[in-house]
Amino acid sequence: MGHSCTARSVTLILAALETILRQSGSSIEPGAALAAAAQASDPANA
């Protein structure tokens, strides 16, 4: 994936997308994307 595909980069882009979606009127649950990413990246869930 390259040097930019780090856990920090993924977290930052997901948080930014959540903010933009909420500001544009989307009814997403705050933190849901970050929680899903954390669960997906947990080796125990592999």
**Residue-wise pLDDT tens digits, 5-44:** 888 898 999 999 999 999 999 998 888 989 998 898 888 8
Would you give the end-to-end CA distance of the chain in angstroms? 19
- Take residue 20 and report the two structure tokens written for it: 């933009």
* pLDDT at position 1 over 60: no
Residue 27 in 3-state DSSP?
coil
2 in a structural domain = no
The parent domain of residue 17 ranges over: 7-45
- The total number of structural domains in the chain stands at 1
The answer to whether residue 1 is domain-embedded is no
Q: How many CB atoms lie within 10 A of CB 22?
A: 13
Domain contains 14: yes
Give alpha helix (H) positions in 1-46: 7-23, 32-41
Cβ 14 vs Cβ 34: under 8 Å: yes
Q: pTM score, two decimals? A: 0.73
Q: Is 40 within a domain?
A: yes
- Tokens, residue 3: 């040097």
